[in-house]
Amino acid sequence: MAEHDDDRTYCIACDKPLVAGDLYYSDLSGGFIHADCCGPERESYTGPDEEPLKPGEPIPEPNIWVEEPPRPAKATPGSLVGRTLEALLALAYAADVALDDGEELEDGSHKLDKDNSNKLCDAVEKLAALPDDRPGYTMGPAAKARWALRSLVGKGGAS
C-alpha cells in the first residue's frame, strides 16, 4: 500500500486521495469512496437510513468532496510556533516584572529599573530574531510574531 499523508482522506476502493470536487459516498465502515469507484449494482448502496435500497428507491446522489482546512501548526518545543510562543511569554513576564518594579514619576512617566529594562529589551530581541519571511513586508518584532503564528491567529492587520 502506498504511503498515506495524514492530512488526506483516501478512497477505500482505489486508495487514491479524495480531492476537492470529487463525487463520493460515505461507506458504512466509516471510510469514503469515490462515486466512480462504486459499481452500478444497487446492492452496493444504502438509503439515507443506512438500510439496503428498497425496490424502486433511487440510488442516492453522491456528495461533493470539499478540501479539508489545513490543520493549525502544532506548538511543539523548538518549532517556530513553539519558539514564538516562548518569546511572547517571556516578553509578557518581563513586561509584568518591569512595570511592577517600576516607578511612576510625578510627571506621569514611568521609570523602569535598568535591569528589568534590559530584560524587556532581550525579550523583544528574541521576537526580532524570528524569520522575516513574509513576501513584500519588512516586519518589526510583533509583526514577526504574528506572522509566525498566522496559522493560529490569522494574518491580522498592522502590528
Least separation in angstroms between residue 10's CB and Zn ion is 8
Q: Name the residue whose CB lies closest to Zn ion.
A: 11
35 forms part of the interface with Zn ion (CB under 5 A): no
Applying CB under 5 A, which of residues 11, 94, 120, 123 lies at the interface with Zn ion?
A: 11
34 forms part of the interface with Zn ion (CB under 5 A): yes
Applying CB under 5 A, which of residues 9, 17, 23, 37 lies at the interface with Zn ion?
A: 37
19 forms part of the interface with Zn ion (CB under 5 A): no
- Mapping DSSP onto H, E and C, the string for the chain reads CCCCCCCCCEECCCCCECCCCCEEEECCCCCEEEHHHCCCCHHHCECCCCCECCCCCCCCCCEECCCCCCCCCCCCCCCHHHHHHHHHHHHHHHHHHHHHHCEECCCCCEECCHHHHHHHHHHHHHHHCCCCCCCCCCCCHHHHHHHHCHHHHCCCCCC
13 forms part of the interface with Zn ion (CB under 5 A): yes
**Which residues would be at the binding site for Zn ion (CB under 5 A)?**
11, 13-14, 34, 37
